[in-house]
Amino acid sequence: MRSYGTNGRRVAIVAGVRTPFARAGTVLKNLSAIELGRACVAEVIQRSELAGKDVDALVFGTVVPNVVAPNIAREVSLIPLLPKGVEAESVSRACASANQAITDAADQIVLGHRDVVIAGGAESLSNVPILHSRSMSDKLVALSRAKSLGQRLGIIASLRPRDFVPITPAIAEPSTGESMGQSAEKMAKINHIPREEQDQFALRSHRLAAVGLDDGRLAAELAPVWVPPSYEQSLGTDNGVRRDTDIAQMAALKPVFDRRYGSVTAGNSSPLTDGASAVLLMSDEKAKALGYTPLAYIRSYAYAALDPGEQLLMGPVLAAPVALDRAGLALADIDLIEMHEAFAAQVLCNIKGLASREWAERAGFAKPVGEVDRARLNVMGGSISIGHPFGATGGRILTTLVNELKRRGGQFGLMTVCAAGGMGHAMVVERA
């Protein structure tokens, strides 16, 4: 068995848990990302019967941080189950933030600095900060510094209606102004992905996720969440999976990002979502010393980036060949593939890219990665149906990949995630 380090230390994936994912503004809207993160970190510790004292560190990702508690990892780590001496750091790499948390944790294990790390991510898109305009911020700062009643009244009198117009964060590239949806739309056109194909792929996502929830495979990865303020209601399943949809309903939806000529709709996009995920990683020796049987090991990973103004969500096409090369494997060796579904258009463009010589050459390889076998791809749905709490998705995908790989008796798994900024991530895991 190969590891990506040079000292022979291998990173074992011991367990993974996530909260149910909920469409933003619904059942989980009163929980912050910190609370969602705490719920699933507590659950992963309890399910794996781990002693808190054995945890060395916690690494957590989030995309839209809480401005008053920017180090989400530290806030999450301050749960009663963990000693206060467990150190914690937060990371951000857009939709690959949980992946960044996982690979940072894994690197520390490979280096020998840590043995047991909980890594994951959380996002509450129901609770994005609403900002004041520059002018309002200046006036509020001046107000807080005013030394007399007269100064205060003067500042208050200077307030204008436009000062009260809030600024909400957009899911758009700061460098180009293009939103994710517009990028997916552009990519669908460049790569000739028809609307019908996108809708079929999204429908497949809903159908497969429903099967996975109903037969217990996905349900087993969920930690039900009790909902404040009364804690009388709980969420035990993903509420974005549409069991009642069909291709006719999906075809009737209007395109959102190019109303006239577009093909990307609410139906074939991932929805804005709340949720968290956590994965328990250990050095192989420590896992064995503590009596755990690892689900799988991290064999390799890679990150890549391209110009965000080009085809924003093609990063996985550049990262996957590098991760496979580092693993010493070909696509044909891979038993299961988990691709983050930001948009059906993006997945279908990524699949085309992986089969293309041009993209292979851009990634530095003579031969394309190859044709993705759909029977091995996202076999229990993906972000379109399950949802996509940005900072948490990587933990969900890794957990599902290793659990399903084990069930099927497979050996190798590949996961890919596209991310804002034109970035992509890929990881290869291996069962012992």
Catalytic residue among 40, 206, 340, 418: 418
Three-state SS string over the chain comes to: CCCCCCCCCCEEEEEEEECCCEECCCCCCCCCHHHHHHHHHHHHHHHCCCCHHHCCEEEEECCCCCCCCCCHHHHHHCCCCCCCCCEEEEECECECHHHHHHHHHHHHHHHCCCCEEEEEEEEECCCCCCECCHHHHHHHHHHHHCCCHHHHHHHHHHCCHHHHCCECCCCECCCCCCEHHHHHHHHHHHCCCCHHHHHHHHHHHHHHHHHHHHCCCCHHHECCEEECCCCCEEECCCCCCCCCCCHHHHHCCCCCCCCCCCCCCCCCECCEEEEEEEEEEEEHHHHHHCCCCCCEEEEEEEEEECCCCCCCCCHHHHHHHHHHHHHCCCHHHCCEEEECCCEHHHHHHHHHHHCCHHHHHHCCCCCCCCCCCHHHECECECHHHHCECHHHHHHHHHHHHHHHHHHHCCCEEEEEEEEHHHEEEEEEEECC
Nearer to ligand COA, 37 or 240 (CB): 240
Nearer to ligand COA, 156 or 252 (CB): 252
x/- binding map, residues 266-305, to ligand COA, per CB under 6 A? xx-xxxx---------------------------------
Give the binding range for ligand COA (CB under 6 A) out of 219-227, 228-236, 243-251, 354-362. Answer: 243-251
Q: Work out which of 250, 319, 345, 397 binds ligand COA, going by CB under 6 A.
A: 250
- The yes or no reply on residue 311 touching ligand COA (CB under 6 A) is no
Smallest distance, ligand COA to C-beta of residue 28, A:
15
Whether residue 40 lies in the annotated active site: no
Nearer to ligand COA, 271 or 381 (CB): 271
Q: Restricting to residues 161-220, name those near ligand COA by CB under 6 A.
A: 171, 180-181
Nearer to ligand COA, 142 or 253 (CB): 253
Give the binding range for ligand COA (CB under 6 A) out of 132-140, 154-162, 246-254, 360-368. Answer: 246-254
- The yes or no reply on residue 64 touching ligand COA (CB under 6 A) is no
- The yes or no reply on residue 253 touching ligand COA (CB under 6 A) is yes
- The yes or no reply on residue 95 touching ligand COA (CB under 6 A) is yes
Nearer to ligand COA, 38 or 425 (CB): 425
Q: Work out which of 30, 151, 158, 249 binds ligand COA, going by CB under 6 A.
A: 249
- The yes or no reply on residue 96 touching ligand COA (CB under 6 A) is no
Catalytic residue among 95, 340, 349, 425: 95
Nearer to ligand COA, 153 or 251 (CB): 251
Catalytic residue among 40, 206, 340, 388: 388
- Residues in contact with ligand COA by CB under 6 A are 95, 171, 180-181, 242, 245, 249-250, 253, 256, 266-267, 269-272, 342, 388
Catalytic residues: 95, 388, 418
